[in-house]
Amino acid sequence: MTGTRVEALLVRRATLRIPFPAGFEERLVGHTVTAVTRRAKYLLATLSSGETLIVHLGMSGWFRVERAAGPEFDAEPGETDDDPKHDHVVFRLSSGMLVTFNDPRRFGLMDLAARGELTSHKALRDLGPEPLSAEFDGAVLARACHRRKTPIKVALLDQTVVAGVGNIYASEACFEARISPKRKASAIATSTGAPKPQAQVLAAAVVKVLERAIAKPTARFKVYERAGTACPRRNCEGTIRRIVQAGRSTFYCPACQR
């Protein structure tokens, strides 16, 4: 979409998870997409108007990109195996492409942030730092955790602590750092919020497991969904255990994670 102009927009319903913003069509049509970026799980398309289109895929949303057969939206679409009744929004671009948002469960959303109001938008304002950015380190993690009585693994899932760590990698990061997922989050910080050494170790572990997952998405998890198997850490005799924390499965080695 970058560098293309939105020539037409088809919005087939009034609402996804939330209603489309007022004037959605007029605020998009005729404007050029100058950049497409991401913050946490939000896709951000910056427009030549200065506004930013915010998109979340929800549970089942996805985009289909195909060449338009003609100038009309009802021109024959490409071969797809999805159900077109879930095609909720179609962008016709100056490049001749159609970009279609399909979302059977409709937990996705689209909104627009006015110029200068992106970081204060309610979807983004409370998000913690991106874990793979320079803004994330042990000191930042410790400060976010030092008043939290929740277990450290639960804190890692809190998107206000750090954005983008999901249930799998929260377990994997605790294993990498040799920290028990049951430890109090505040234990990685001093009473004033300064980082203890474990905060640095855990922050580095978060970065390491995410970078490893991006580099090799099919790699086996070290502990996730491996309950009952031997701990993969060399010289550890432990057995991976599954527990439930805040309604989510956690996997860890009780022998080497303290």
Which residues within the stretch 36-95 sit at the binding site for Zn ion (CB under 5 A)? none
What's the closest the beta carbon of residue 183 comes to Zn ion, in angstroms?
Answer: 15
Contact 188, 198 (CB under 8 A): yes
- Tell the smallest beta-carbon distance from residue 256 to Zn ion (Å): 3
- The residues, any chain, with a CB within 8 Å of residue 167's CB and separated by 6 or more, are 157, 248, 249
Name the minimum Å distance from CB 239 to Zn ion: 8
Cβ(226)–Cβ(252) below 8 Å: no
Instruction: Say how many residues touch Zn ion, by CB under 5 A.
Output: 7
Q: Which two tokens stand for residue 247?
A: 């309604």
Answer positive or negative: Cα dihedral of 71, 75, 77, 82: positive
Least distance to Zn ion from the beta carbon of 217, Å? 24
Binding map of Zn ion across residues 172-211, x = CB under 5 A, - = no contact: ----------------------------------------
Q: What long-range pairs does 131-135 form, CB within 8 A, spacing at least 24?
A: 131/162, 131/163, 131/164, 131/165, 131/206, 131/207, 131/210, 132/207, 132/210, 132/211
Angle at 67 between CA 63 and CA 72, to 5 degrees: 95
CA distances (Å), 150 to each of 50, 111, 140, 186, 196, in order? 40, 32, 17, 8, 17
DSSP states along 95-110: TSEEEEEE-SS---EE
Residue 109 is a binding residue for Zn ion (CB under 5 A): no
For Zn ion, which is the closer residue by CB, 101 or 175? 175
Q: In terms of CB distance, is 168 or 255 closer to Zn ion? A: 255
Count of Cβ atoms closer than 10 Å to residue 166 Cβ? 13
Interface map 227-256 toward Zn ion (x if CB under 5 A)? ----x-x--x-x--------------x-xx
Beta carbon nearer to Zn ion, 9 or 236 = 236
| Nearer of residues 11 and 255 to Zn ion, judged by Cβ | 255
Which residue in this structure is represented by tokens 């042990």?
138
Cβ closer to Zn ion: 58 or 238? Answer: 238
Beta-carbon neighbour count of residue 213 at 10 Å? Answer: 15
At 100, the amino acid letter reads: T
Nearest-approach distance from CB 169 to Zn ion, in angstroms: 18
- Of the pair 33, 253, the CB lying nearest Zn ion is at 253
The span of 102-110, 133-141, 186-194, 223-231 binding Zn ion (CB under 5 A) equals: 223-231
Q: Minimal distance in Å, beta carbon 78 to Zn ion?
A: 50
Is the CB of 40 or the CB of 256 nearer to Zn ion?
Answer: 256
* Residues at the site binding Zn ion, with contacts judged by CB under 5 A: 231, 233, 236, 238, 253, 255-256
